[in-house]
Structure 1
Amino acid sequence: MKKIATLTLVTAMGLGLAACGETRNERALSGGLIGAGAGAVVGSAVSGGRASGALVGGALGAAGGAVVGANTRPERRREVCYGTNRYGERYRVPCRY
């Protein structure tokens, strides 16, 4: 029962932090760190508290998290921009950044 609670907690924390970073490198780094932490906890829990399980789990989690984080894209913010014509009426225009 303790293993299931640990796995559930780690999964919830990982999903909560999954959207960290805006650039590809930031997402790869945050995915790797989240994966390493989650993999170490899971590896330790599965191997009965051995350090070797934590090390293997951390390494696999870091590699997997970095790959997944680098290949995801954040949602684009949907901003609405308006312009005004010569009569004072507002209309939608493409946003410029």
Structure 2
Amino acid sequence: MNRIALVLAMLATAASLAACGSSTGDRAISGGGIGAGVGALGGLLLGSPIEGALIGGAVGAGAGALTKEKDINLGKPIWR
């Protein structure tokens, strides 16, 4: 598997895990956090963890904001 495919797989994983909480804001925040973490790991493999975290965070936040609680529910956010 080449590096770009690995990063895309990691971003897809982050998007599928986003997000926890019932409000759109909670889901965007948690999705952004999950996506940033996964993106940073992918970016580390490609040599740019900061860019990976930024891209992953944006993808995760977008996925979290666009999903509903009934679609994906990881439970109550840790900040609540």
1:18, distance to aligned residue in structure 2 (A): 3.2
Which gives a bigger RCO, structure 1 or 2 (Cα 8 Å, sep 6+)? 2
Answer 1 or 2: which has greater strand percent: 1
TM-score by length of 2: 0.65
Distance in 2 (alpha carbons) for counterparts of 1:54 and 1:33: 14
Instruction: Tell me which residue corresponds to 2:62.
Output: 67
1:31-70 equivalences in 2 (<5 Å): 31-47=31-47, 53-70=48-65
1:24-60 CA-partner distances (Å, limit 9, x unpaired)? 000000000000000001100122xxxxx00000000
Gap runs ≥5 in structure 1:
48-52, 77-97
TM-score by length of 1: 0.54
Gap runs ≥5 in structure 2:
72-80
Report how many residues are paired: 65
Q: Against the structure 1 CA distance between its residues 64 and 14, is the aligned structure 2 distance closer, same or farther, given a 3 Å change threshold?
A: closer
Distance in 1 (alpha carbons) for counterparts of 2:60 and 2:38: 10
Q: What RMSD over aligned residues (CA atoms) do the two structures have, in Å?
A: 2.6
Answer 1 or 2: which has greater helix percent: 2
